[in-house]
Amino acid sequence: MKIKPIKSRKRNRRHREPLSARAARGAKKWGRILAFALPVPVLAYGAWWAYGKVTTTGYLAISGITVEGAERIAPEELVAASGIVQGKNLFSFSKDEVTSRLKANPWLESVDINREISGTVEITVKERDPIALVKLDALYVMDANGVIFKKYSAEEGLDLPVVTGLSKESLASGGENLEERLMELISVLTNRSGFNITNVSEINIDADHGLSLFTLDEGVRLDVGMGSFEEKLASFEKILGTRGGVLKGIEAFDLNNYREVIVRFTTDVVKEGGTGDGKKG
């Protein structure tokens, strides 16, 4: 048997890409990768360096701190609580941290911090508007949004009506229709002329009978139920006008039906020949 030798195939060198072209293409590919990759750490370092310069340069020192909207809280008290120090760099503090520190004061509803290129830091606050005291385990202050935000202190000198009949349990449950009606009644009393919130000493909430309020003068009870508060108070004023504005001798007004108001007189008036237990007006 004759064995034929296997001939090796020759490569077609005419169609093979030159080495210089392949090298150029590879260099171009890696050049594109490096063009995107190299600037990342360079830019990061540059940003870090620039931030360090901005937050330490003496050219951006805090030249003044102003406070707007503070009436109950002294402006200097707010500046001290903010932790912002005049003379330090304008960007040496976090606005979020300053806001958090200031809002630790329960009287503050909102806080806004602004830096001015002139070097001034502006602190703008909105204080809560107290409208009533709420009797729970102690007296607490409630604002115009119905938020019970702090325990009452006699040093604050608030001359406000007291809300009774609420409990911590009812507040925790939420969605109480009586609480919504309470805020509606307070809103009506706050915005009306004539008999208004300044003439009220107490507002009582009762799950069965609705809302009642007690007048500051003579402590007369007005049963106003669950709605139509403006109409009911207008009927009360009309009857009061027939008496020359005098409440003495009256125990209560039943205003649930404001078209047919029932007036209850005190025992002394009845003994002296009054009209009896009740009188429709």
The predicted pLDDT at position 167 comes to 82
The predicted pLDDT at position 24 comes to 59
DSSP H helices, 106-262, are 168-173, 177-191, 229-242
> In the numeric block, which tokens belong to residue 257?
């039906």
- Residue pair 152/140 in contact by the 8 Å Cβ criterion: yes
pLDDT in tens, 63-92: 999 999 999 999 999 999 999 999 999 998
The predicted pLDDT at position 277 comes to 47
Total count of residues recorded for the chain: 281
Mark whether 232 and 168 lie in a shared domain. yes
pLDDT in tens, 128-169: 999 999 999 999 999 999 999 999 999 888 999 999 998 877
Considering only residues 277 and 89, tell me which one the structure prediction assigns the higher pLDDT. Answer: 89
pLDDT at residue 4 greater than cutoff 80: no
Structural domain total, the chain? 2
The whole domain housing 174 covers: 130-280
- Residue pair 106/150 in contact by the 8 Å Cβ criterion: yes
The predicted pLDDT at position 47 comes to 46
How far is the C-alpha of 223 from the C-alpha of 210, rounded, in Å? 8
pLDDT at residue 51 greater than cutoff 50: no
Give the domain CATH number at 270: 3.40.50.11690
Q: Where are the beta strands (DSSP E) in 70-190?
A: 108-115, 120-127, 130-135, 139-143, 148-151, 162-164
**DSSP one-letter code for 216:** T
Which of the residue ranges 12-26, 172-186, 248-262 would you say has the lowest mean pLDDT?
12-26
Mark whether 86 and 181 lie in a shared domain. no
How far is the C-alpha of 228 from the C-alpha of 212, rounded, in Å? 13
Mark whether 158 and 236 lie in a shared domain. yes
CA-nearest of 73, 134, 64, 155 to 109 is 73
pLDDT in tens, 109-132: 999 999 998 899 999 999 999 999
The predicted pLDDT at position 110 comes to 97
Question: Is residue 201 in some structural domain?
Answer: yes
How far is the C-alpha of 199 from the C-alpha of 216, rounded, in Å? 5
Mark whether 167 and 70 lie in a shared domain. no
| CA dihedral of 149, 155, 157, 158, whole degrees rounded to 10 | 10
Mean pLDDT over each residue of the chain, to the nearest integer: 83
76, 109, 127: which is the final residue of a domain? 127
- Identify the three-state secondary structure at position 53: helix
Mark whether 275 and 156 lie in a shared domain. yes
Rounded to 5 degrees, φ, ψ at 117 are -60, -25
Considering only residues 32 and 277, tell me which one the structure prediction assigns the higher pLDDT. Answer: 32
Question: Is residue 2 in some structural domain?
Answer: no
